[in-house]
Structure 1
Amino acid sequence: MARPEKNEPADADRNAPTATDDMLRAFIGYNMKRSFIVVREDLQRVLDPLGLKVATFSALSVVVENPDISQSQLAQVLKLERSGMVVLVDALEGDDLISRNRVPGDRRTYALRATPKGRRLWEKARAVVDAHETALFGPILDAGERALLLSLLQRVSSAL
């Protein structure tokens, strides 16, 4: 008996009823998760040519917006463990996108600041992310709906 091709379903799968997740789709959180997975995968695809990950883009964005932010503050803003933040900051510093600067009077704290190279890359990345969101959401949501979705997500995020 011939074996099915790699991407071809086995006979048992071909004859099985179609599985659904209709009950789960009644939940906001489930729909947010499914949407997030698609958005994140596509966002990573467009950030890859710039040498950025979603996490490093996020961290760089916060540092650009908040010069001299501490690693602890950055971790709070991004809702990450401080230990995980060290890896992100090391990666950004290693790529010369941010610098760690001593804080006078505090030997334990470093102020993070985007380097000129980091600011230039962030500008490119911002344009790529803007285009990504327009391409991804433009066909399904008009500008008003996108603004409403963003506003609602920001409200939920702030409240939780």
Structure 2
Amino acid sequence: MAKPTRARLPTSEPLKMAPELEELIGYNLKRAYVVVQKDYRAALGDGGLSPRTFAALSLAVAYPNLTQSNLARMLGIERSGLVAIIDELERDGLLKRTTVPGDRRVQALVPLEAGIAAHRATLAKVKAHEDKLLEDLSDVEKETLIFLLRKIRRHETES
């Protein structure tokens, strides 16, 4: 049986994506996500908060004594998936778990001074990273992008 041959593309020309992929929202969102994540990691360095720990810490700072259940809901993740994030933030001395008065089964999250400082410093770096990434967009385009992404996100509450 003959071995299938691979199509050879000219090496001097830039590779182009299949037109049907370029027209798909999901494909473009995924590619944009990869760019954003790569630049985020470069901007924050190895010791910086990951996007998921930054999001969790941001909400804990904004809403002191937020319960783990509410945080999971706000982040759109399962409570079981949140445990590792909280463990990391607690291990790094950025927040602590406390029991809720009247219900010892419920854990509330209290940001520590180091957590508030880390959040402030990380937020400044994240804003600089996003400003750099979006420098070619006008203010109206940035607002439109956020508006459209939020419109898509509304579907997460429907499922």
Is the shorter-chain TM-score for this pair beyond 0.5, marking a shared fold? yes
Check if 1:144 corresponds to 2:140. Answer: yes
Provide the rounded CA distance (Å) in 2 between the counterparts of 1:149 and 1:89. 30
Provide the rounded CA distance (Å) in 1 between the counterparts of 2:11 and 2:145. 38
Offset at residue 12 of structure 1 (A)? 7.9
Corresponding residue for 2:101? 104
Report matched runs for 1:33-44 at 5 Å: 33-44=30-41
Aligned to 1:23, what secondary structure does the other structure show? helix
Percent sequence identity is 38
Give the unaligned 5+ runs of structure 2. 1-7
Aligned residues: 149
Provide the rounded CA distance (Å) in 1 between the counterparts of 2:93 and 2:72. 20
Conserved? CA contact 1:67–1:112, under 8 Å = yes
Say if 1:30 and 1:71 are closer, same or farther in 2 by CA, change over 3 A: same
Moved more, 126-135 or 51-60: 51-60
Aligned to 2:28, what secondary structure does the other structure show? helix
Q: Pick from 60, 68, 76: which aligns with 2:65? A: 68
Provide the rounded CA distance (Å) in 1 between the counterparts of 2:14 and 2:131. 36
Report matched runs for 1:18-57 at 5 Å: 18=15, 20-57=17-54
Check if 1:132 corresponds to 2:129. Answer: yes
User: What TM-score, normalized to structure 2?
Assistant: 0.84
Provide the rounded CA distance (Å) in 2 between the counterparts of 1:21 and 1:114. 47
Say if 1:104 and 1:153 are closer, same or farther in 2 by CA, change over 3 A: same
**What amino acid is the match of 1:80?**
I
Aligned to 2:45, what secondary structure does the other structure show? helix
Give the unaligned 5+ runs of structure 1. 1-10
**What amino acid is the match of 1:92?**
L
Offset at residue 45 of structure 1 (A)? 2.0
Write the deviation string for residues 9-31 of structure 1: whole angstroms up to 9, x where unpaired: xx888499945232111111111
Corresponding residue for 2:151? 155
Offset at residue 158 of structure 1 (A)? 2.0
Q: Pick from 98, 103, 115: which aligns with 2:112? A: 115
Conserved? CA contact 1:97–1:117, under 8 Å = yes
Offset at residue 96 of structure 1 (A)? 0.7
Say if 1:128 and 1:93 are closer, same or farther in 2 by CA, change over 3 A: same
**What amino acid is the match of 1:126?**
L
Moved over 6 A (4+): none
Provide the rounded CA distance (Å) in 2 between the counterparts of 1:16 and 1:45. 29
User: What TM-score, normalized to structure 1?
Assistant: 0.84
